[in-house]
Amino acid sequence: MSDKQENPMRKIKIGKVVVNIGLGEGGEKLEKAMKVLEELTGQKPCPTKAKRTIRDFGIRKGENIGCKVTLRGKKIEDFLRRVLEARKNTLPESCFDDYGNVSFGIHEHISIPGTKYDPSLGIFGMNVCVVLERPGYRVALRKYKKSEIGKKHRVSKEEAISYFTEKLNVNVVRGR
């Protein structure tokens, strides 16, 4: 087992990409954000609800305060390349966690290539979360005969950084 890269079960892939716009309020602004997210991803977004009531911000539990889209399969590659191009293909090392997840933000959606500014919609920022996994990860998520994933089979921070630099040509900035 010295050649871990040749084993097909050790091959790293992108499991899903979640794009989230958090507004802190509902109504017309939320409808505009959902329209922007649908134009960017090509999928219909679902609203996210507040988990608790915060009187200072005027938020009630169960109220729609944001929207999100989960991308899987072939839609991931095109969207991820455009979003990383908006970040100039650079990410700080702090975006990577210990379990193979990568999260970063986009300040303005109009900085994504191929996006036109629409004054009736406005400008929105968003969070992009990328989940890296290996084949066989499904056993931790399925309902029937659920099992745990071993430490050696999880994607580490170093493996995630090398995947992004090799496959997606991202420059990872180490330290500050």
Considering the entire predicted model, what is its pTM? 0.86
Domain count within the chain: 1
Which segment of 28-32, 53-57, 107-111, 144-148 scores lowest on mean pLDDT? 53-57
Mean pLDDT on 10-28: 90
The pLDDT assigned to 56 comes to 83
Residue 4, pLDDT > 90, answer no
Residue given tokens 């100039």 in the structure block: 88
The domain containing residue 79 runs over which residues? 9-137+148-173
pLDDT tens column, 141-171: 899 999 998 888 899 999 999 999 999 888 8
Does the residue 3 lie in any domain?
no
Does the residue 26 lie in any domain?
yes
Does the residue 73 lie in any domain?
yes
Does the residue 2 lie in any domain?
no
Q: Give 72's contacts (C-beta < 8 A, 6+ positions apart).
A: 15, 16, 17
Does the residue 129 lie in any domain?
yes
pLDDT band at 122 (very low <50, low <70, confident <90, very high): confident
The pLDDT assigned to 5 comes to 58
Does the residue 31 lie in any domain?
yes
CATH number at residue 51: 3.30.1440.10
CA distances from 120 to 35, 123, 126, 158 (A): 11, 10, 18, 43
Which segment of 7-16, 54-63, 85-94, 104-113 scores lowest on mean pLDDT? 54-63
Does the residue 39 lie in any domain?
yes
Does the residue 143 lie in any domain?
no
The pLDDT assigned to 62 comes to 82
